[in-house]
Amino acid sequence: MAITVAGTLFLFGAKPAEQPQNVKAMSNNISGDMTFEEHKKLFEDSYLAANDAYNAKHGFDPLSGKVVTVDTYSSTTSSANQWGYGFVEAYEDEDVTKIIMLNDISSPITTSGNSIGNRQSSIEIDGGGFKLLLYHRNLSIAEPASGTQSVFHMHDLTAAQSNEYSGTGGSEAANRKALIRGDGGIHGDGDVSKNWYFRFGNVFTDYDASKYEGENKDYSTFVGRWARINQSEVTMYGYNILVTGSENFYTGSIVVEDNTVWKGTNCGENYSVVWFTTRQLDGATGISGEFTIGKNAFVYLRNTTDGANYPAIYAHYSTITVGEESFFNVNMKGRAISNFDNTPAGGKNRYTTKQFIAKENSHVNLLSRGTGSVVKLDYSNNDITSDMQFKTAKNSEVFIYGNTNAGIVSMTGSGALFELDSPKLFEIRNSREATVSSRSFLDIKAGNTFTIKDSDINLWKNDNLTEASNLVYEKVGYLTADGPTITSDNEDLQNNFTSNGFRRINGLNIPPEVIWDHLTDAEKSYQARVSLGLIPTGEFDNNGMPIMIDAWASTGQAVVSFKDTYGNTHSPLAIESDGYAKYTDTEFQKATLDMEGTATRGVSWVGDIGKTTVIDVTPPTPINLTKGKITTTDKSLSATGVEPNAKVYLSVNDGSLTEAGTANAAGEWSYQLGSTFEKDTKVQIYLEDNAADYPADFDSTGLESTHIASGNRNPKTDVTYKDTTFKAATTYIVEQATVKLHIRQMVVGSAADKEVLTIPTEGYLTIENTDTIKYNAHFASGYELTDAADNDQVEFKSMVFELVDADNYSLLKLKPIIPAYYQNYGYIVTDTEEKPSINTHTIQPGYYEYDFNDGVYEKWVTLYIQPNQTDIKPYSWDYKLNDIGKIKIP
């Protein structure tokens, strides 16, 4: 049941900044942009096997006679073979069955030439990849022996008929009307080649490649054709580029084998590319009149002149067949496809009703650069009837473009049929700017049938083709125009469609596809467009491939669902006025994970999941050194919590970056310095992750200071990008090395001692670093009784010491000044602030020495003294009055 979908559809064209896309064959094996080397690698084995099968079919064994290797044009004394032959002598010897070229071969460069041969028997010419220059000459053939048919097989060579690209002499120049059978007339001696089979593979003409693209004229060394072989069957295989000054072939039939590439150009005359010159005679090898393309092949036929009189394939053919998954691309100034024949000298047409048949999954791209119809099915002359059939099978892609006052498809005779059966994609468009009905895509009269089956149908009236379509119909069962009578299973379509009322019609019978804009882990908003399919621009690229652009969904044409990297789904999202579905999140997406999107068009078209990987553009979090600083004595740097496996670089005083190792998988990093830094040196530490390089089409504007090919790196200064700010690489100003000591004194004694002995409330000591640098200090003194709970836990006094030469003098020796009646009892040292007790800690004997090399730059030191006599005398304060120098607390 057909469904009518309200709204508009299919804006033509992409945004101006976008580049067109090239589309390869569905099999992904062959396409116009495939090189000869790529093709040979894929298909050489298959076409070599096909050569053997071909020879067996036609009873030709190229090794059965003389096999001659040649290295010169003409000779009777050549050492390249036992007969002394040059190329000419080998070709003219009917006992030679195979010629193998050993190098480039050129005929004498003279102003006149002649035919070579008039050969009758089968021959294989293996060019070995070399060039054959027959200056103003050709390889001639003659009628094979009575009751026999011969094979002419030429392959793997580049041919030239001149040493210039001027087109001088024209296509009918004597003896060079073609490389093969370039002498004689066009029609009257057609019987000469009717009993020949011709096979060509990996053959090329010599042409000026700088002029290949565009509408240039006369840029081949051929002023005429590759071969004038009326009535004959021609078989093409391999990879072939034939640029000739006139048609590529006069022929009776052509078979293009599976996996073949053939790019044929007429760059000189106002003729076709292939001319079926005469009525096929009974018994002729080309009696079928077919132009048949096998599977997965690529055929591109064009002219680059302003000649508009002829279609690409002309006159006495019967059926043009495009095989499964094959391309048939035509780019002509005149018609692309036509049943036209205005050459009565070639006889009345044997095949009066012509056919064009495209099989399943084929690709048909037809363009006329002139002002006439592109597909004209209605000629009636030279015994041709106006009932040509144009039919395409399921899942084919058909694009027909022109710029004409008439219909793009012309069906004004009687009995013609144009049928698209379940196409995958199709478009017929008349780009002529006008609003009159004669400039529609279809010109049809009563007695002819135009029909489309099982397809979406979208229609543009006689106005601006770049706007959205006027009418949209989803999954129409059929639309048929029997002349002016319209029928359809969709009543609305049947009522609205008129054969001359629309300039453009298409159907994109594929699910919509979500096409993401790139998304980074530094932005919270994301967006995607919906492609409804690819449509051609009506132009071909240099390889003969149609240039395609996306048909983007606009407001009301599709809805979108997003799934983010946290598994959250956001839907339904409408297409906004700029053509995007958008969402702004509350958090950044996870780098390297995929965002997913699906689109729904109309009632029943639901697309597959479209994905984009979140691009990692965020540098690592700047480093925090374990010490939190760098001092003049640091010989190593270390940190934890670094991004795992991050690369580390140092910049000193804004100099260039030097490598400083890599963090391990646990985010730990340490690095041994070659030397210590001087005070006030600026050291900036950069981290760089291992993020993949950005996609080639990603716009990295704003990331110039953070992105390099090997990852994302901290910037020198803060950088704001999208929705975040990348913090600068951590900077440290080197500090003078210091140690901070927190010191106090405690008296250890009994309760009795306390009764008879005055307890000091201050302590004094000398701190020595070298023989010349000494520090005097005083601090609080308390007490702790050994036989009672009574104690006085006094506070520490803090002192900071600069160590100017810690490499050589790393010790600070603490020497207490002991008051009368007391003696040293030891010390307790901790790395954290606490007030130790003799009941919970072990007192270390002797005097405390701080070693800077231990790497701990802050200590809490408790010094202990105890009474040293049992006969206690009155307390003496003499020690407090001793001259111990200036107390220095840096």
pLDDT tens per residue across span 201-220:
999 999 999 999 999 999 99
The predicted pLDDT at position 142 comes to 95
The predicted pLDDT at position 284 comes to 96
> Do residue 794 and residue 832 come from a single domain?
yes
Boundary of a domain, candidates 680, 706, 733:
733
Q: Judge whether 291 lies within some domain.
A: no
> Do residue 705 and residue 749 come from a single domain?
no
Cβ atoms 819, 801 nearer than 8 A: no
> Do residue 692 and residue 728 come from a single domain?
yes
Q: Judge whether 522 lies within some domain.
A: yes
Cβ atoms 555, 574 nearer than 8 A: yes
> Do residue 660 and residue 539 come from a single domain?
no
> Do residue 725 and residue 749 come from a single domain?
no
The CATH number of the domain holding residue 545 is 2.60.40
> Do residue 700 and residue 676 come from a single domain?
yes
Q: Judge whether 132 lies within some domain.
A: no
> Do residue 768 and residue 861 come from a single domain?
yes
The predicted-structure confidence for 351-395, as pLDDT tens digits, reads as follows: 999 999 999 999 999 999 998 999 999 999 999 999 999 999 999
The predicted pLDDT at position 871 comes to 57
DSSP structural state of residue 734: P
Boundary of a domain, candidates 733, 757, 776:
733
Q: Judge whether 441 lies within some domain.
A: no
The predicted pLDDT at position 16 comes to 30
Cβ atoms 366, 375 nearer than 8 A: yes
> Do residue 746 and residue 729 come from a single domain?
no
Domain count within the chain: 3
The predicted pLDDT at position 81 comes to 98
CA distances from 419 to 331, 401, 403, 505, 538 (A): 22, 17, 22, 14, 21
Residues sharing a CB contact under 8 Å with residue 644, sequence separation 6 or more, in sequence order = 663, 664, 665, 666, 667
> Do residue 766 and residue 850 come from a single domain?
yes
Q: Judge whether 785 lies within some domain.
A: yes
With a cut of 50, which residues of the chain have pLDDT below it? Answer: 1-27, 188, 875-890
Cβ atoms 757, 875 nearer than 8 A: yes
The predicted pLDDT at position 803 comes to 76
Alpha carbon distance 517, 529 (integer Å): 8
Give me the phi and psi of 43, to 5 degrees please.
-120, 0
> Do residue 749 and residue 871 come from a single domain?
yes
The predicted pLDDT at position 753 comes to 83
> Do residue 747 and residue 674 come from a single domain?
no
* DSSP secondary structure, 689-712, as one string: --PPPPPTT---TT-TTTEETTEE
Alpha carbon distance 795, 340 (integer Å): 114
Phi-psi region of 285 (alpha: psi -120 to 50; beta: other; left: phi over 0): alpha
Nearest by Cα to 245 from 276, 279, 272, 222: 222
Alpha carbon distance 398, 425 (integer Å): 6
* DSSP secondary structure, 42-63, as one string: HHHHHHHHHHHHHHHHHT--TT
CB atoms within 10 A of CB 445: 16
Boundary of a domain, candidates 707, 733, 759:
733
> Do residue 717 and residue 835 come from a single domain?
no
The predicted pLDDT at position 770 comes to 66
User: What range does the domain containing 531 cover?
Assistant: 511-613
The predicted-structure confidence for 92-131, as pLDDT tens digits, reads as follows: 999 999 999 999 999 998 767 789 999 999 999 999 999 9
